[in-house]
Every structure is written in C-alpha cells, then in structure tokens.
Amino acid sequence: QVQLQQWGAGLLKPSETLSLTCAVHGGSFSDYYWTWVRQSPGKGLEWIGETNRGGSTNYNPSLKSRVTISVDTSKNEFSLKLASVTAADAAVYYCASRQYCSVGRCHFSSWGQGTLVTVSS
Amino acid sequence: DIQMTQSPSSLSASVGDRVTITCRASQFVSNYLNWYQQKPGKAPDVLIYAASTLQSGVPSRFSGSGSGTNFTLTISSLQPEDFATYFCQQTYNIPPVTFGQGTRLEVK
C-alpha cells in the first residue's frame, strides 16, 4: 500500500511561487501516475496535473501556463510548483496516486495528508 | 473538459435510511467513474471505482451503478459514520480529470 507524505510552505504572498513536495513510501514508484489536486470552498476538487516515473506530464489546461510537476526518482518524490499565485490559488493541496488505467480501473488510491495554502500580502 | 454534475448538492437522512446520489457526465465516460467519501479535515477516500467495483475494505452497504453518462451511488442502510461528503470523478478523458461538485450528507 502506497503512503504519501507531503510538505511545503503554507503562507505565500501574491506573485510568489507555491512549492510542495510529496514523498512516496511503499509500492512501486514505476506503477503509478503521481498527481496533485487542490480543494477550495469555492471550486471544490480541482485536478492540477500529474507525472510518472519517466517524467511524462499531464496538466489541467486551466493552470498549465503556471504549473510544473516534476519527479525525483532517486528520492521517490514528486513536486509541484505553481507560479504567480493569487488569492484564487488559496486551497488545500493534496498529492495522490493512481495506477495506469485499465478497463475502467483508474482511480486515486492513495492521498497525502493535505497542505493548507494561504495567499495574503 | 467533461463536466460532472451531482445531485442533490446536500441531503438530510437518518440512520438506517437508503440513500441514492446521482452523477451525470456531460460526455460519454464509459465506466471510468469513481466515487469518493470525504470527512472534514481529511483527504477523500475511494469507495467505488470503475462505476461499480467496491474498493477493498469498503462496507457492502455501498454500491455503484451506471455506464456512459449516468451513474448512481447507493448506501443501502446509513450508518453514523457515513455522514460525510461524496464526490464522483471521471478519469475517461485525461487531461483533465474532473470531479463533481460534491454531495453533503447530513443527519436529519
């Protein structure tokens, strides 16, 4: 069973870059897509994007211009950077894992504990 | 993007009630439809994946059905620990993965 532990700065000023990292414990790092999701009261759950062991990425088109998701296979970690944050980016950010999709089996099986990000000058 | 619409947005029910939540996709998603339960301050947990497959460890009172664009989550007999928020999610067309807006299940 994969376990995810995430960390990063929780208080940012407008225009700064959000940076979060998620460590993967257990399971095979090669068997999953590694994902970031955020949740705010106004917008519910929003998928940010994902990467895999090879560094292939998929991003939400609504955030693509500001998002970078990267992977460090030597540490079994993956990271999120979101540039030029505004108050609209305030949310709880989660890392999550999903196995490669097969016959409808394509869900987020493990989640990190969440990081509350506040944006304030 | 595929839009996911859940109904109702909130629901009041009592222990022992049978509850049904629906999720409609704006486009065909086959059976790439998942249901999650979220309790306050916690990350979501998967209940049902592939529209109708119960995640290991999830009580059998939870069930899912549907295919294509219309899906339902049913709780056959509500237990106290089931009062939470429920989300549907499509993973048929990535990017992006999209979620329903959530259904808050409250005690009547």
Measure B90 CA to nearest chain A CA, in Å.
9
Alpha-carbon distance values, B35 to A67, A85, A89, B99 (Å):
27, 30, 25, 9
- Do residues A70 and A91 lie in contact, with contact meaning Cβ atoms separated by under 8 Å? no
- What average pLDDT score do residues A75-92 get? 97
From the list B32, B29, B35, the residue with the least C-alpha distance to B72 is B35
Residues 6+ apart with CB under 8 A from B40: none
Interface touch A44/B94, C-beta < 8 Å = no
Alpha-carbon distance values, B105 to A90, B11, B12, B80, B98 (Å):
25, 5, 6, 11, 21
Interface touch B50/A106, C-beta < 8 Å = yes
Residues of chain B found within 8 Å of residue A98, distances taken between Cβ atoms: 91
Measure A104 CA to nearest chain B CA, in Å.
5
In this complex, is the C-beta atom of A42 within 8 Å of any C-beta atom belonging to chain B? no
- Do residues A108 and A50 lie in contact, with contact meaning Cβ atoms separated by under 8 Å? no
- Do residues A117 and A92 lie in contact, with contact meaning Cβ atoms separated by under 8 Å? yes
pLDDT (tens digit per residue) in B23-54: 999 999 999 999 999 999 999 999 999 999 99
DSSP B97: P
Interface touch B49/A103, C-beta < 8 Å = no
Closest residue of chain A to B52, computed from CA coordinates: A104
- What average pLDDT score do residues A55-82 get? 96
User: Above 80 in pLDDT, residue B2?
Assistant: yes
User: Above 90 in pLDDT, residue B72?
Assistant: yes
- Residue type at B101 in one-letter notation: Q
